[in-house]
Homo-oligomer: A and B are copies of this chain.
Amino acid sequence: GSDASAKAVAARQAILTKPQGSLGRLEEIAAWLARWQGRDMPRLEQVKVFVFAGNHGVTAQGVSAFPPEVTVQMVANFAGGGAAINQLARIAGAQLAVIPLDLEHPTGDFTTGTAMDDDAFLAAVSTGYHAVTEDTDLVCFGEMGIGNTTPAAAISAALFGGGAEKWTGRGTGVDDSGLRRKIAAIEAGLSRHAAALSDPLRVAASLGGRELAAILGGVLAARHRNVPVLLDGFVCTAAAAPLAELHAEGLAHTLAAHVSAEAGHRSLLEALGLAPLLDLGMRLGEGSGACLAVNVVRSALECHAGMASFAEAGVSQE
């Protein structure tokens, strides 16, 4: 990140026609964009949303309210423009790309084996990594995958402890018995993969999913290519979390777009030291929360770029 560009933003913010600091987080956002784009005057011409989709062997444990075929059905719905993310990406002025990851071959059920072997994990990471290109000014990551709050909770428990129950919520809406099955599956996964839990990438491979691995790759690529990132909800945040365990500043180029209503997300953001921009009770995934926050980022930039200084406007200062 560029300290110089972040400082240039702070210096300009101080002379714009408003009380010092009165735009609150919008001022921080402008400096964050500048720091991670490496530009004194950041830009938001190319905003992209990637929705990675994957299927999960652990659905065999009865952890989701919806059948697994909904993943491919929703991919078709994205293609047809009928999902929430289609509407939200359009409103955000963002290009949407949906990338299905080998949907015909679900990951392994992590209660009985690893979710992905090394080849499968690296292939998914690589897909995410290569999706993010240098011409991008801001990237949102989202996901679709029936059952994927289960690997997200398993990763969170593996990385941050506290037990399965702390991180397990109702996802798309399981009932009480489904919630118990979900907690039991995660406990079984943590137990089966106990030897892998000290290695963040082994955690992601053993307990995760292809769409989570692709997000991990995409967030890493964004850092290498000077692209600031908006993280979405619980699954997206859990997908990126291993990067924070690998490097203390591993997620410094990301902002948490929102805090989801899914049970574990608030604790996960706290564990990562991320302060969400929005808190609207959403729990849809698809990148929906991230897309909604694009307008906040855009508003921050437009104020920064477009406002007059006290001198330009002839306004008296304190």
Contact = CB atoms under 8 A, between A and B. Distances in A.
Interface of A: 16-26, 65-67, 69-70, 73-74, 76-77, 80-84, 86-88, 90-91, 171-173, 261, 277-284, 288, 291-292, 295-296, 298-299, 302-303, 305-308, 312-318
Q: How many copies does the complex hold?
A: 2
Contacts of A277: 280
Contacts of A306: 81-82, 86-87
A178 to B, nearest CB: 10
A65 B283 CA distance: 43
A160 B10 CA distance: 39
A281 B19 CA distance: 13
Contacts of A76: 313-314
A19 B173 contact: yes
Given A295-B295, A318-B173, A312 B280 contact: no
Contacts of A283: 19, 21-22, 24
20 contacts: A19-B65, A20-B173, A23-B288, A24-B280, A25-B282, A66-B316, A66-B318, A70-B316, A77-B313, A81-B308, A83-B307, A84-B303, A88-B303, A91-B295, A91-B298, A91-B302, A279-B279, A292-B295, A295-B296, A295-B299
Nearest to A28: B281
A312 B82 CA distance: 9
A21 B21 CA distance: 36
B318 A65 contact: yes
A120 to B, nearest CB: 26
The 6 closest A-B pairs by CB, nearest first: A82-B308, A24-B281, A19-B172, A295-B295, A87-B302, A22-B284
A73 B316 contact: yes
Given A24-B280, A284-B18, A308-B82, A299 B77 contact: no
A17 B308 contact: no
Of the listed residues A19, A278, A291, the one surrounded by the most CB atoms of chain B closer than 10 A to its CB is: A19
Nearest to A282: B24
Nearest to A83: B17
